[in-house]
Homo-oligomer: A and B are copies of this chain.
Amino acid sequence: MRNVYHDELVHLVDTLVEMTNLARSAMARATTALLDADREIAESVITADERIDSLQRDLEERSLQLLARQQPVATDLRVVVTALRMSTSLERMGDLARHVAKLARLRHPQEVVPAEYRATILQMAQVAERIVTKAGSVIASRDVAMAAQLETDDDEMDVLHRSVFEQLMQHSGEHSTEVAVDLTLCSRYYERFADHAVSVAKNVVFLVTGSHDPEETHGHSLVG
């Protein structure tokens, strides 16, 4: 029985890693849809989001069953509770990628991002891809040091997010209100995507250290 239990915990972790892969792929493809004004890719991102949603529902159900049947304590209990939390963040990251894709679809065949903003948006997309990839590694490796790196990536994202606004203000009058609205939303989607990745990493830190304070980092095994 304990073996089934152990497998179930490993399965939770595998599902979370798979969700980070799907969220990464969704945001990368949404960025392509956005920057290439590619409607087909936009549609595929919107459709594919259902897969992340269903993984989350599945993880939730399995977690509840685990809690009810196995009544885990200590670290195992934290694995299940943090898995539930992380899955919520990852599901939300999928939604944000879908929002980017919807923006591309809404304006198609028009471009959402004017030429002078493409470099910034691309950088945001690259940070987003990097941060979610690291979140996946952190879940798989329980690497608390790497978890701290995500904060640095997130700072970079915040700087880019602010720079979109600054650029918009500087060139006020040179572009339509539609462009300003679209870029504001778009930039916010990438920024929130990164926030959720940080939240995922923080949950792993909590899991490993038993503390929300990143200073107290003494190692525990994720899956007992």
Interface residues in chain A, defined as those with a beta carbon under 8 Å from any beta carbon in chain B: 57, 63-64, 67-68, 71, 73-74, 77-78, 81, 84-85, 88, 165, 168-169, 171-173, 175-178, 180-181, 184-185, 188, 212
Contact = CB atoms under 8 A, between A and B. Distances in A.
A183 to B, nearest CB: 8
A169 B177 CA distance: 6
B177 A173 contact: yes
Contacts of A181: 165, 168-169, 180-181, 184
Secondary structure call for the A interface: helix
18 contacts: A64-B78, A64-B81, A67-B77, A67-B81, A68-B77, A71-B71, A85-B88, A169-B177, A169-B181, A171-B177, A172-B176, A172-B177, A173-B177, A177-B180, A180-B180, A180-B181, A180-B184, A184-B185
The 8 closest A-B pairs by CB, nearest first: A172-B177, A71-B71, A180-B180, A184-B184, A177-B180, A181-B184, A68-B73, A168-B177
Contacts of A188: 185, 188
A181 B181 CA distance: 6
A169 B180 contact: no
Contacts of A171: 177
A99 B67 CA distance: 36
A172 to B, nearest CB: 4
Contacts of A185: 184, 188
A172 B178 contact: yes
Nearest to A81: B64
A68 to B, nearest CB: 5
A177 to B, nearest CB: 4
A40 B91 CA distance: 37
B68 A67 contact: no
Contacts of A57: 212
Most chain-B Cβ atoms within 10 A of its Cβ — which of A68, A74, A78, A181? A181
Nearest to A171: B177
A63 to B, nearest CB: 8
